[in-house]
A and B are shown apart, each in its own frame.
Chain A
Amino acid sequence: MKDTVIAGFVPLVDAAPLIAAHEKGFAREAGLKLRLLRQSSWASLRDHLNLGHLDCGHTLGPLPIATVLGIGRVRAPLIVPLVLSRGGNAITVSTTLAARMRAVTGKSIYGPGDSGRALARVVDASTQALTLGMVYPYSGHNFEIRYWLAAAGIHPDKDVRLVAIPPPLMVESLRAGQVDGFCVGEPWNSVAVHQGFGEIVATKADIFPRGIEKVLAVPARAERDGKRLQALIGSLHRAALWCDDRENTAELADILSQRDYLNLPAAMIAQSLAGEIPGVRSRPDDFLYFGRDGAGRPRVEEALWLFAQMRRWGQLPDSPELEAAVRGVFRPDLFDAAVGESAANESISACDGIQFDGGSVREYLEHFSLSTPFVIATDSGV
């Protein structure tokens, strides 16, 4: 049994379970030598994972689904045996846009409902389309900002312009006026507020309570060495619980702040971990967490729900074959075998009260009046 596991991560607060598993000895106790390699983009992490340079990766929840289904013809068999984090993102608007939103409503612009309604009135009154940033097409951030906009009657592909921007460049884009707002993970929302360029109007927890964020993606062939995979899941789960414990927050923040990891001030990271986000009114404990209350379990319904978001925004066609393939990506059985707990299933909810219980994706999508049709790319024939 090969005992070295090479893991890719993107320097974000929610890479904490992987980093803690290495730094606090959870991997070593499970007989694994964890080697962590920092990645500069989600595209690069995906490529290294697909080519076998990485054994596993800290990645965006929808990305393994997109990869298994072969969107953009990047296709590789990946499975998700563990959810690494829930929550952690927020929507920030520029101080200029916040002032316009406040002016049209004359009251609070915090929360998905109030902020959405205010933004819709600003969009109606604007002659030029607003530009909003997110991190990647197959990301929770993309679906959060789209859900928030659409719930307020703003069409994300017609009424505004959405662009992908690497998280470390997000605040600078806001300052330079290249974007009017964005959805990104911490600490970048807090940074925008502290520097005086932005105001937070909603968190991921406000839009999708208990919303799935980063997952552990591994190549399907990893299942052949079941013991090693089980050891990896078990050690990461223990690390995640350690990360959730508030007693460890200061130490975890110190570890994450190191040069090889996030290379950012520990105090800023500690606030993100504790959910003490400037201007946020929802419960700090719900903001970002890793392992508690069955958070690590990758539920098939959640994969289907992500598939539904991808369908809604035209990333995929309506296809029973694709839907069947999605059912095999998230693997609660591997999690249960390694961790020995199985949480009860519950419906997935959102800020507008619309729920998904794992049933028909088509019926779920009928709830929404705004969507984008799937279009097949044209062959240029050069």
Chain B
Amino acid sequence: MSSRPLEVLIIDENVVRATILEDGLRDAGDIVVHHIRDMDGLLARVAAINPDVILIDLENPSRDTLEQMFQVSRWAKRPIAMFVDKSDSDSVQAAIDAGVSAYVVDGLRRERVKSVLDVTISRFHVFNRLHEELSEARTALEERKLIEQAKGIVMKQKHVTEPAAYALLRRAAMNEGRKVAEIARSLVTAAALFDKDPT
């Protein structure tokens, strides 16, 4: 059995995720990593790279395009979707949970595929965590801004101090069983509606 390096192709419009994955795969041994970022002329480029394994986001709409290419009998190297063997169902489940799908050339040795898949799954998880933290931070920042705006409105309307304005918002939130940020959002929206002087 030859031991030429495994050609792995990552198809991902998300450059950050692709980079995280690429780094992980480079450390995993005898692997050549390719990356296609935009979907223009996808088929010609996949054919030119002629990969052994293709990794692509489970929700990428271009999966249908890829699967058609694999079905065409003119292309000899026909990778198949990974959801195949019952024996692989654990790693398939893990891959789906991580949001990745893989296409693997028929006849590839199982342990070679497994190491690629394991790295991919863990790297997708790293990315997902990063993404979650980022969006949480973004939401927190947005909420703080909203609360600041709402406090300003209350202070102006009721002629109260900043702490008193916040106390009012908090009490309203508790009474309605909602978050302070939600109350702040309704207040800001309402104020915008009544504002005769659009800024």
Which residues from B are CB-within-8-Å of A379?
106-107
> CB-CB contacts of A58-100 with B at 8 A, as 1s and 0s?
0000000000000111110000000000000000000000000
Cβ A166 vs Cβ B73 within 8 A: no
> CB-CB contacts of A20-63 with B at 8 A, as 1s and 0s?
00000000000000000000111110011011010000000000
Cβ B43 vs Cβ A163 within 8 A: yes
The closest CB in chain A to the CB of B81 belongs to A74
Residue B157, interface by CB 8 Å: no
Bound-state Cα–Cα, A72 to B68, Å: 11
Cβ B64 vs Cβ A51 within 8 A: no
Cβ A380 vs Cβ B68 within 8 A: no
Residue A320, interface by CB 8 Å: no
The contact of A166 among B4, B6, B64, by CB within 8 Å, is B64
- In the complex, 21 of the A-B residue pairs with CB atoms within 8 angstroms, ordered by the A residue number, are A41-B59, A41-B62, A43-B67, A43-B81, A44-B59, A73-B81, A73-B106, A74-B80, A137-B71, A157-B74, A164-B67, A164-B68, A178-B40, A372-B73, A375-B73, A379-B106, A380-B52, A380-B77, A380-B108, A382-B52, A382-B108
Of residues 105 through 119 on chain B, the ones whose CB sits less than 8 Å from some CB of chain A are: 105-109, 112
Of residues 84 through 141 on chain A, the ones whose CB sits less than 8 Å from some CB of chain B are: 135-137
Residue A284, interface by CB 8 Å: no
Which residues from A are CB-within-8-Å of B61?
40-41, 166, 168-169
Bound-state Cα–Cα, A116 to B52, Å: 39
Residue A324, interface by CB 8 Å: no
Report which A residues bind B (CB closer than 8 A): 40-44, 47-48, 50-51, 53, 71-75, 135-137, 157, 162-166, 168-169, 178, 314-315, 372, 374-375, 377-382
The contact of A137 among B67, B92, B105, B112, by CB within 8 Å, is B67
Chief secondary structure at chain A's binding surface: loop
Bound-state Cα–Cα, A356 to B78, Å: 32
Residue B175, interface by CB 8 Å: no
Known: A73-B106, A137-B72, A157-B74. 20 other contacts (CB 8 A): A40-B61, A41-B59, A41-B61, A41-B63, A44-B59, A51-B96, A72-B78, A72-B81, A73-B81, A74-B84, A136-B64, A137-B67, A162-B68, A163-B43, A164-B68, A168-B61, A315-B71, A380-B106, A380-B107, A382-B52
Cβ B64 vs Cβ A41 within 8 A: yes
Which among B43, B52, B71 has the greatest number of chain A C-beta atoms within 10 A?
B71
Shortest A339–chain B CB gap in Å is 32
Cβ B83 vs Cβ A74 within 8 A: yes
Of residues 1 through 19 on chain B, the ones whose CB sits less than 8 Å from some CB of chain A are: 1-2, 4, 6
The closest CB in chain A to the CB of B68 belongs to A164
The contact of A43 among B41, B43, B63, by CB within 8 Å, is B63
The 9 closest A-B CB pairs, nearest first, are: A164-B68, A379-B107, A166-B61, A43-B63, A137-B71, A377-B78, A375-B73, A73-B84, A40-B59
